[in-house]
Amino acid sequence: MKTSIKILLVIMAVAISVTGYSQKKAKPFKGVITYGITYEGEEMDATTQAQLPTEVVVSILGQKVRNEQISAFYSMASISNLEDGSAIVLIDAMGMKIAVNQTKEDIDANIEEAGLEDPVINYLDETKEIAGYTCKKAEVTSGDEVIEVYYTEEINVPEGMNDTNGFKGINGLLMEYSVVQEGMIMIMTVKEVKKGKVNKGMFVIPDDYEIKTMEELGGLFGG
């Protein structure tokens, strides 16, 4: 059971972490961005590693963003409404389909409770190409942690999406970065950017999902 809870925490970290971008002057982006995930750090047995997601798919339509990943163990989606600051988390796990609504006030309270401070960003004179886009490099310092990120200013994605995930101040689409969770380092790298239509139905709670509070969710998964 501890392994199951640990995997859930890692997957939730993945879901939340990829909702981070800033607005550009180009035409607003509409479409799908796919990140590949690689893992470093804590050694994992083959069974545990097989249960973790290997990619995250981010769909963007106006001020709404959905990122989701599917593994052999869980399916999870995180939907952000940047217009009113609310969010939805959808979890399909252990035979349960659960939705959690969070208002802007809920999210702000969680950030305040966690004591998160704005990171310090050191912009570096270094670039590399990722998925066909020229990406700039920066070092993001938060507390004692320093994370290298690559971002591009060639894609105009919604404003404010970097504000709550530890990358506030990065002016562009995050193309490669890492997340540390439960002793694991997850490296996210964009492998495809596909512009085009996105189904509006992807940004609402499906009829077969049961709505729970965050507290009820924690009780279900041993939190």
Q: Residue 118: which pLDDT band, with cuts at 50, 70 and 90?
A: confident
In the block, residue with structure tokens 């193309």: 175
Nearest C-alpha neighbor of 138 from the set 124, 152, 118: 124
* pTM, 2 dp: 0.81
d(Cα 116, Cα 217) in Å, to the nearest integer?
A: 23
Maximal C-alpha separation, the chain: 50
DSSP helix, strand, coil percent of the chain (3-state; round to 5): 20, 45, 35
Q: Residue 22: which pLDDT band, with cuts at 50, 70 and 90?
A: very low
Is pLDDT of 12 > 70? Answer: no
Q: What is the pLDDT of residue 18?
A: 45
- In order, the DSSP letters of 63-126 are TEEEEEEE-SSEEEEEEEETTTTEEEEEEEETTEEEEEEE-HHHHHHHHHHHT--PPEEEEEEE
The answer to whether the CB of 198 falls within 8 A of the CB of 59 is yes
Choose which CATH entry (3.20.20.70, 3.10.620.30, 2.50.20.10, 3.30.70.20) describes domain 2-218: 2.50.20.10
Q: Edge-to-edge strand order for the sheet containing 31-41?
A: 120-130, 133-142, 145-152, 173-181, 184-195, 31-41, 55-61, 64-70, 74-81, 86-93, 96-102, 210-212
pLDDT in tens, 69-116: 888 778 899 999 988 989 999 999 888 999 999 998 988 887 777 776
Nearest C-alpha neighbor of 216 from the set 101, 81, 52, 86: 101
Give the tokens for residue 187: 């490296």
Q: What is the pLDDT of residue 128?
A: 96
pLDDT in tens, 169-219: 887 889 999 887 777 889 999 999 999 999 999 999 999 999 998 888 877
d(Cα 14, Cα 180) in Å, to the nearest integer?
A: 10
Q: What is the pLDDT of residue 4?
A: 43
- In order, the DSSP letters of 118-137 are PPEEEEEEEEEEETTEEEEE
pLDDT in tens, 47-60: 777 888 889 999 99
